[in-house]
Amino acid sequence: MRINENFTEEWMYHMRVLVIGSGAREHAMADKLIESTSVTSVHSCPGNILMETIGPVYDIEICDFDKISKICLNHNIDLIAVGPEIPMAAGISEYFETSSIKVFGPTSGAARLESSKAFTRELLERIDVPSPNFNIFDDINKAIDWIDRNDGPKVIKADGLAAGKGVIIADRKEAQKIAVNAIMGDKIFGESGNNLIIEEKLEGPEISVFAFCDGENISNPVVACDYKRAQDGDRGLNTGGMGSYSYPGIIDNSLLQHIKDIILLPTVSEMTRLGVPYKGVLYAGLMITPSGPKVLEFNCRFGDPEAQVILPRLKTDLGSVMDACVTGNLRSVVVEWNDLACVGVVLASAGYPSAYQTGYEISNLNESVENTKLFAGGISINSTTGINCTNGGRILTAVGMADTISKARKLAYEKLNTINSSNTFFRTDIGQVLRT
């Protein structure tokens, strides 16, 4: 790790961090933070049973800022690292901006890059960032009338937050109308479907690009690829993500620099011009089309399960990077990524992402497999029996780390197969067919 000499030794070794969230992404964040020389302790709200092995957890809702503030004061927290998008959109950064507690994560205004797809589409069009053609609707009848008059496959999106599931791809007009009615009429995503975006369907490999931002500067980006569909062969419903991988060379360095120059930097600059500087990690979902990379979406946080495969590749002290983002000193920290290949496979409850049951026993979580990690998500302790049980759609992520994707993939599945569980499933093809 290289840190500018202006950073003081006192700062580097005395940070107490509170991670907000309870999923495998937040477990990966806590795991990396506790490895950081700049961090002395990691606390979590609400955390999960494996995050308890890293540091104290507090059973507090992620948007109960008053109670979170009390935890911070009682335990001398220096930095809050926010995992999910909901607290960011709800204004956790603004809540703490007058205190001495720093928040790694954008303000609600800057988080509109994720919380409003309409805002983002209009912003990108204004600054000429490559994107699909789109139309925005606030009236269901106008949306359906537009579909009647325009042929071709379409992507139908709810404007607001929808837990990563607010996108429906429809090739035929009938399916497109059903999607519009579901989002705007039936409100399957609640108020997030008050407005709707219809985009052209792009073709090409899809990648996720992550970069740290301090409102002006952007770090060296890193690339991951994920698997959204529930079943092998990219069949089934869209999910929050069933697996992911990251390794050097997913795309070549010249293309990655091009993405930074024509997409990431202009977007961050425009947010600053609008008076809402973006500070945190920026996640760009891109499609590499025949005419070049185009923006599918922005997210204002680490992806899940992408975080589980990119954070093990981070060579730089994560605590120092987060602090530099918040304080505007990112230029003073050189963000470096190692040469590992990482593959992460998600274990999910049977039925996910539709209706599923929880409460099934899960065990053998701690069996050691060299060069693997296990990040917990939907796992809790049964208060009556004291045993670990499934408690969510996505239960955990098993990650393998090696010098090649094939070796990393083998390790991830080896780790996954040591776990005893019932009423669960996972994809068997993560990392087998690469995305690019």
pLDDT for residue 7 is more than 50: no
For 359-380, write each residue's pLDDT tens digit.
999 999 999 999 999 999 999 9
pLDDT band at 436 (very low <50, low <70, confident <90, very high): low
pLDDT band at 204 (very low <50, low <70, confident <90, very high): very high
Rounded distance between C-alpha atoms, residue 193 and residue 168, angstroms: 12
CATH of 341-425, one of 3.90.600.10, 3.40.640.10, 3.30.365.10, 3.30.70.1290: 3.90.600.10
pLDDT for residue 390 is more than 70: yes
> CA nearest 306: which of 41, 5, 23?
23
Q: How much is the pLDDT for 3?
A: 43
Q: Which two tokens stand for residue 289?
A: 């089309």
pLDDT for residue 105 is more than 80: yes
Instruction: Report, as an integer, the average pLDDT of 401-428.
Output: 98
Among the ranges given (5-9, 167-171, 306-310), the one the predictor scored with the smallest mean pLDDT = 5-9
Q: How much is the pLDDT for 383?
A: 85
- The neighbour count for residue 194, using CB atoms within 10 Å, is 14
> CA nearest 243: which of 260, 225, 267, 262?
225
Rounded distance between C-alpha atoms, residue 436 and residue 430, angstroms: 14
For 106-164, write each residue's pLDDT tens digit.
999 999 999 999 999 999 999 999 999 999 999 999 999 999 999 999 999 999 998 77
- Across 227-361, the runs of DSSP E, i.e. the strands, are 229-231, 235-238, 243-246, 279-289, 292-299, 333-334, 341-349
Q: How much is the pLDDT for 11?
A: 47
What pTM was estimated for this model as a whole?
A: 0.94
Q: How much is the pLDDT for 119?
A: 98
Helices (H), 62-106: 65-74, 85-90, 92-95
Instruction: Report, as an integer, the average pLDDT of 268-296.
Output: 98
Instruction: Report, as an integer, the average pLDDT of 38-47.
Output: 98
The residue with tokens 């925005």 is: 136
pLDDT for residue 6 is more than 60: no
CATH 3.40.50.20 fits 15-104, yes or no: yes
Mean pLDDT over each residue of the chain, to the nearest integer = 95
Residue 370 and residue 381 in contact, taking contact as beta carbons nearer than 8 Å: no
pLDDT for residue 41 is more than 60: yes
Rounded distance between C-alpha atoms, residue 118 and residue 297, angstroms: 11
pLDDT for residue 253 is more than 80: yes
Domain boundaries, the chain: 15-104, 139-194, 203-334, 341-425
CATH number for the domain whose boundaries are 139-194: 3.30.1490.20
Q: How much is the pLDDT for 134?
A: 97
Helices (H), 182-229: none
Among the ranges given (12-16, 360-364, 373-377, 396-400), the one the predictor scored with the smallest mean pLDDT = 12-16
The sign one gets for the Cα dihedral 293, 223, 200, 231 is positive
pLDDT for residue 72 is more than 50: yes
Among the ranges given (58-67, 212-221, 322-331, 383-392), the one the predictor scored with the smallest mean pLDDT = 383-392
Q: How much is the pLDDT for 434?
A: 74
Instruction: Report, as an integer, the average pLDDT of 53-74.
Output: 98
Domain 203-334: top CATH class: alpha beta
Instruction: Report, as an integer, the average pLDDT of 278-302.
Output: 97
For 321-360, write each residue's pLDDT tens digit.
999 999 999 999 999 999 999 999 999 999 999 999 999 9
Query: Strand 229-231 vs strand 279-289: parallel, antiparallel, or unpaired?
Result: unpaired
Report, in angstroms and rounded to the nearest whole number, the Rg of the chain calculated over CA atoms: 21
Q: Which two tokens stand for residue 14?
A: 């005395």
Q: Which two tokens stand for residue 95?
A: 């809540």
Among the ranges given (44-48, 122-126, 164-168, 432-436), the one the predictor scored with the smallest mean pLDDT = 432-436
Instruction: Report, as an integer, the average pLDDT of 180-198.
Output: 96
